[in-house]
A and B are shown apart, each in its own frame.
Chain A
Amino acid sequence: QVQLVESGGGVVQPGRSLRLSCAASGFTFSTHSMHWVRQAPGKGLEWVAVISFDENNKYYADSLKGRFTISRDISKNTLYLQMDSLRAEDTAVYYCGRGGRSWNTEFDYWGQGTLVTVSS
């Protein structure tokens, strides 16, 4: 069965960096686009970024202003999110989600999420 397991969350000071990971299993990782979606405490869902199945396309939410970088390692079946210059407003649960072969489709499986808290 499809499994997505996020890790790497924690408490980090403003201005510092953090890298999240999402370990995928139960499907052919190299044939699916992958996404990051976040949810601030008590708030709604906010899409963060997508990487295409072949890594040729990466798109980000405008609000991130180039601070985040999405990547994937096919050999490890793992998705990453490098987060730099973190701000208090980046505090959220970060979910990875599986997309289709095309990047602009539904998120059909989600991980359990990892909490990132940006605080001094």
Chain B
Amino acid sequence: SYELTQPPSVSVSPGQTASISCSGDKLEDKYAYWYQQKPGQSPVLVIYLDTKRPSGIPERFSGSNSGNTATLTISGTQAMDEADYYCQAWDSNTAVFGGGTKLTVL
């Protein structure tokens, strides 16, 4: 079965750029999606179709997908961005999530 691999944790200082990777076999041949989940809350879509931002998502969130790796980038990271982030892709009629990355802003 298809797998997506994310680092368990990423730390970033306020105002700096955070990058969260998501690796999967030939991931560039699929679309990558990213979700943000804060403690006790439901997930929120932050990136779809590799690079697109839903309305209401700040411009500091961006995405890319090349080779075997999709990347979520948060520029000028703010304290409010501290959350768990999950990547997701579709493979053979199945939605696959990465294991999640805890972003700490300190």
Contacts and interface: CB of A to CB of B under 8 A. Distances in A.
Contact of A44 (B86, B93, B95): B86
B94 A62 contact: yes
Contacts, number: 54
Contact of B86 (A35, A45, A109, A113): A45
Contact of B95 (A50, A110, A111): A50
Nearest to A102: B90
Given A108-B54, A110-B42, A112-B42, A47 B94 contact: yes
A105 to B, nearest CB: 8
Contacts of A110: 42-44
Interface in A16-75: 35, 37, 44-47, 50, 59, 61-62
Contacts of A61: 94
A108 B45 contact: yes
> Interface residue tally of chain B, by bracket?
20 to 34
Nearest to A45: B97
A112 B43 CA distance: 9
Interface residues of A, number: 21
A44 B42 contact: no
B29 to A, nearest CB: 13
A48 to B, nearest CB: 9
Nearest to B41: A112
Interface of B: 1, 33, 35, 37, 42-45, 48-49, 54, 84, 86, 88, 90, 93-100
Top 8 nearest A-B pairs (CB, nearest first) are A47-B95, A106-B48, A110-B42, A44-B100, A104-B90, A59-B93, A45-B97, A106-B33
